[in-house]
Structure 1
Amino acid sequence: MTTKGTPGRMVRIEEEMWTAYGELCQEEGTSRADDIRRHVHARVKAWRAGKRKASTTS
Structure 2
Amino acid sequence: MTTKGLPGRVIRIDDETWADYEKVCDEKGLARAADIRMYVKREVAAWRRRQRAEAGESPKS
TM-score (norm 1): 0.93
Q: Percent identity?
A: 47
Structure 1: which 5+ residue stretches go unaligned? Answer: none
- Supply the AA of the counterpart residue of 2:24: L
The alignment covers a number of residue pairs equal to 57
Q: Tell me which residue corresponds to 2:38.
A: 38
Higher helix share: 1
- Distance in 1 (alpha carbons) for counterparts of 2:19 and 2:33: 13
**Aligned residue runs from structure 1 range 7-22, under 5 A:** 7-22=7-22
CA RMSD, Structure 1 to Structure 2 (Å): 1.3
Structure 2: which 5+ residue stretches go unaligned? Answer: none
| Pairwise CA distance, 1:20 | 0.1
- Distance in 1 (alpha carbons) for counterparts of 2:13 and 2:47: 24
- Distance in 1 (alpha carbons) for counterparts of 2:55 and 2:40: 22
TM-superposition CA deviations, 1:2-48 (whole Å, max 9, x none): 13000000100000000000000001100100000000000000000
Moved over 6 A (4+): none
